[in-house]
């Protein structure tokens, strides 16, 4: 059972993750698990993963509203991608629960390094805003969705950093539309993973609630600031990617010390 200070740290962590998601889009939720483990002090990595999966899914749904209002969600493409990934997320989360928590964190650190590198690589890309679901891109959406869902479920993360480039690769849509559309899949994968972990009693519901509350507030602030710093998006993404890689280095150092 966590104490009051830990719940306050959980709320603060939610604010930070929500703020980053609102500011730079996909990839922000990757810090949820390390924050829960190393800052909040959740004793079980599996509980941290299950709880963060639920929190990130709910925050993705709240963030989706703003993107819908802006008209930058390609619903048909997003729903096909998400539907294909739900089966993958369930299979991946089942495999993740069966692996030792410390080993999972060790692997998670390498994933974070990959996230940072992907964010650096995908800055400033353009695409076709008129893209629609069709015979050409449907098979690619199913393939990318299944693979991303499997990966997302295994590590208990939203997977926005993979969903966004996956949507771009499958359809050629612009990054702006991919970020908005990705939240449909992020929510679907997170809820699937969270449900699987909940069946094993691996969610701290109180921590999830305060994290979600903080995430909603942080997301609003991040989106507000993002509109004012639109021209600095590439620089912000670079700074955040470097932060992710630095945190991954810290996790690797802790994991090696534990071994």
Does residue 174 come out as left (phi exceeding 0), alpha (psi in the -120 to 50 range) or beta? beta
CB 177 within 8 A of CB 129: yes
| Range of the structural domain that residue 166 is part of | 4-258
The domain total for the chain is 1
What is the percentage of the chain residues whose pLDDT exceeds 90?
30
Poorest-pLDDT segment among 102-106, 214-218, 238-242: 238-242
Q: What is the mean pLDDT of residues 12-26?
A: 79
Poorest-pLDDT segment among 21-35, 136-150, 168-182, 230-244: 230-244
**Confidence band, pLDDT 50/70/90 cuts, at residue 112:** confident
pLDDT of amino acid 54 = 92
124, pLDDT greater than 60? no
pLDDT of amino acid 27 = 61
217, pLDDT greater than 60? yes
Of residues 203 and 114, more confidence is placed in 203
pTM of the predicted protein model: 0.81
The DSSP code for 229 is S
Does residue 41 come out as left (phi exceeding 0), alpha (psi in the -120 to 50 range) or beta? left
Locus of tokens 């699987």: 196
134, pLDDT greater than 70? yes
**Confidence band, pLDDT 50/70/90 cuts, at residue 176:** confident
pLDDT of amino acid 255 = 73
**Confidence band, pLDDT 50/70/90 cuts, at residue 216:** confident
Task: Please give the Cα distance from 100 to 97 (Å, whole number).
Answer: 8
Handedness of CA 237, 239, 243, 248 (dihedral sign): positive
Write the secondary structure of 68-122 as one string of H (helix), E (strand) and C (coil).
HHCCCCCHHHHHHHHHHHHHHHHHHHHHHHCCCHHHHHHHHHHHHHHHHHHHHHC
Q: Which helix (H) or strand (E) holds 237?
A: helix 233-258
Structure tokens at 43: 């004793």
CB 54 within 8 A of CB 188: no
Q: What is the mean pLDDT of residues 123-152?
A: 78
Q: What is the mean pLDDT of residues 15-23?
A: 80
Of residues 119 and 183, more confidence is placed in 183
């Amino acid at each position: 059972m966590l104490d009051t200070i830990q719940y306050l740290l959980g709320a603060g962590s939610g604010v930070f993750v929500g703020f980053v998601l609102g500011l730079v889009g996909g990839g922000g939720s990757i810090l949820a698990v390390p924050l829960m483990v190393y800052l909040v002090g959740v004793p079980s990595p599996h509980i941290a993963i299950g709880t963060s999966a639920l929190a990130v899914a709910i925050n993705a749904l709240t963030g989706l509203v703003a993107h819908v209002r802006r008209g930058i969600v390609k619903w048909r493409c997003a729903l096909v991608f998400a539907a294909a990934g739900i089966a993958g997320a369930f299979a991946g989360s089942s495999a993740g629960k069966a692996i030792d928590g410390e080993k999972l964190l060790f692997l998670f650190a390498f994933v974070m390094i990959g996230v940072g590198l992907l964010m650096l690589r995908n800055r400033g890309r353009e695409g076709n805003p008129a893209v629609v679901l069709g015979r050409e891109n449907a098979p690619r959406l199913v393939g990318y969705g299944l693979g991303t869902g499997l990966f997302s479920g295994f590590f208990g993360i939203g997977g926005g950093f993979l969903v966004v480039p996956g949507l771009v690769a499958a359809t050629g849509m612009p990054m702006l539309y991919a970020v908005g559309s990705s939240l449909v899949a992020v929510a679907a994968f997170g809820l699937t993973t969270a449900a699987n972990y909940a069946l094993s009693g691996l969610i701290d519901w109180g921590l999830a609630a305060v994290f979600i509350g903080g995430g909603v507030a942080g997301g609003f602030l991040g989106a507000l600031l993002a509109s004012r710093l639109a021209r600095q998006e590439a620089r912000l993404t670079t700074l955040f990617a470097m932060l992710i890689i630095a945190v991954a280095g810290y996790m690797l150092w802790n994991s090696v010390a534990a071994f």
